[in-house]
Structure 1
Amino acid sequence: MRWLNFLFLIVLAGCMQPQKPVWDEVPTAEQLIGQISVASGSFSSLDGAASVALTTGDKFFSSEQFLLLQRPDRLRADVLTGFGQLVLQMASDGDLLSVFLNTTVPGKFFYGPASYENIFRFVRVPLMTTDLLSLLLYDPPLIDYQDSSVELVAGGIRLVLANDDDRQELLFNGRLQLIGCDYYRLGDEYLSVEYEKFSKESSFPQLIKIAMPLEKTRIKVTFSELQVNERIDLAQFQLHRPDNAIIERLP
């Protein structure tokens, strides 16, 4: 029966044709940049449940999270173990950061300025909040560039932006959806993001991968429930101290 299986694979491979591009002519750099500019900021908020996998150095963490994001710098994460136990709540309204750590008895409540250092202490992703939200809201920022070019690649098209020290490569699929973005400085890649599994309803990616090779940090966010551009009560970005929790002020 092996020859029948082999024949089946040949027929199946013949049916799996690469996605045909939607353009008649290869788009110019100016057209692609214009498309990005029009789409920029299309998603202003996100409310979703997600599985989050974080690798930092030689340490790996995984959790189930409920995420609230709102431009430019409001965020909230309710972090649960795989068994559904709440271990951490973190909320920032852009000015004040509040965190409830539920891993001890009694729990600990932290509050203080929503600075990069304070947020990094709990998130462990070396990005400014505004940059992290831009990547998670499907809007990777463009570098200041002097030169631009377009390259055809397998299954899509690549837009390259460059200046003296920096280079940015943006990858589009056959339907001109942005599916990846890589950032380089002096030839070294320092940040990359991949977008996959686009929602049919909102065209928002339900799988986002972010990597920072120089910091040996990777994060993968897989959404199981997702709403975008819904109004979020601003009170959700502030936490109230639970009863009996130990209070610690952040610097």
Structure 2
Amino acid sequence: MNRHLTVGVVWLSSLVLLACPHRADFGKDGAPRSAEDLLDRVNIAEAQVISIEGDSKITVESAQGKGSTSMFVSVLHPSRLRLEVLDFFGRPQGALVTDGETCALHDAQHARFFRGPASPANLGRLLPVAIPPAELVALMLGRAPRIPQESLEMRFDEDTQLLVLVLKRGPVTQTLHVHPPEYRVVKSHVEGIAAYDVTFEGIQDIGRLNYPRRVVLVSEAGQTRAQLDYKDVTVNQTPDLTTFELEVPPNVPELQVDERGLLLDGGVP
């Protein structure tokens, strides 16, 4: 065969291969048959992971600036949580625990200890955004909190090769971008109410399980972006429940606060 003809055939073949879209892998059960089927698969995928414990890094960007710190995390579905913010030398600067109903916070930098309801305001003393504990735990376990939908729609995005699930309730719409065949949500966007966007990145397999190594939350209203990167963690090893308890350190005053974060005695925390 003529050399130039051979080169031309190879070149044309390459163009054909590049032009052929990559077919999505929908797994052993094939493509979802309906929006309800897709939502069921997402629920099953997210239910795989019930606990994560270990070292992480949190990076926050806000109107006040940008910074990052190391953080020990212990998360247990549905609403148990322990966070320890560490300094450069690994010394605790703050600790927060909650069982979903009550929470305790030790502010080591200012030698104060708060105890009260597990409200968004009280959790927000340590965190860059104010979120209910069960919702925060869900996010940290790689689950996208969802609106209570009245209707569902599904489509396939050829460009991203992702399934798109749209949940609607009145004027509120939530759009979930789902990656097959894991059926993990990789992005959630809500319109119609003040809310936050979340992305899940770096999906990692552990045996038959998988979970995102990075969780990014963006609050346009609060002008805040928080990124959690898991470093050395264990998955689905049930932690000791005493992990979610926090005792008052010696010589540190204990302050009782209400759900708004205000002192019960009327003082200013």
Tell me, yes or no, whether TM beats 0.5: yes
Counterparts of residues 72-221 of structure 1 (less than 5 Å): 72-104=78-110, 107-143=111-147, 144-157=149-162, 158-186=164-192, 190-201=195-206, 202-221=209-228
Q: TM-score w.r.t. structure 2 length?
A: 0.77
Q: TM-score w.r.t. structure 1 length?
A: 0.82
The more displaced of 214-223 and 27-36 is 27-36
1:239 lines up with 2:246 in the alignment: yes
Q: How far apart, in 2, do the equivalents of 1:19 and 1:222 lie?
A: 30
Instruction: Using the aligned pairs only, state the percent identity.
Output: 22
Q: Secondary structure at the match of 2:68?
A: strand
Q: Secondary structure at the match of 2:173?
A: strand
Unaligned runs of 5+ in 2: 1-13, 259-269
User: 1:76·1:89 contact (CA, 8 Å) conserved in 2?
Assistant: yes
1:22 lines up with 2:28 in the alignment: no
* Match for residue 228 of structure 1 among 223, 235, 240: 235
Task: Call closer, same or farther: CA 1:100–1:19 in 2, change over 3 Å.
Answer: farther
User: 1:74·1:94 contact (CA, 8 Å) conserved in 2?
Assistant: yes
1:45 lines up with 2:51 in the alignment: yes
Task: Call closer, same or farther: CA 1:242–1:161 in 2, change over 3 Å.
Answer: same
1:32 lines up with 2:32 in the alignment: no
Q: Secondary structure at the match of 1:203?
A: strand
Q: How far apart, in 1, do the equivalents of 2:202 and 2:21 lie?
A: 17
One-letter amino acid matched to 1:96:
T
Larger Rg: 2
Q: How far apart, in 2, do the equivalents of 1:159 and 1:114 lie?
A: 31
User: 1:179·1:196 contact (CA, 8 Å) conserved in 2?
Assistant: no
One-letter amino acid matched to 1:116:
P
Task: Call closer, same or farther: CA 1:200–1:147 in 2, change over 3 Å.
Answer: closer
Unaligned runs of 5+ in 1: 1-10
What is the Cα-based RMSD across aligned positions, in Å?
2.6
One-letter amino acid matched to 2:174:
Q
User: 1:183·1:189 contact (CA, 8 Å) conserved in 2?
Assistant: no
User: 2:25·2:180 contact (CA, 8 Å) conserved in 1?
Assistant: yes
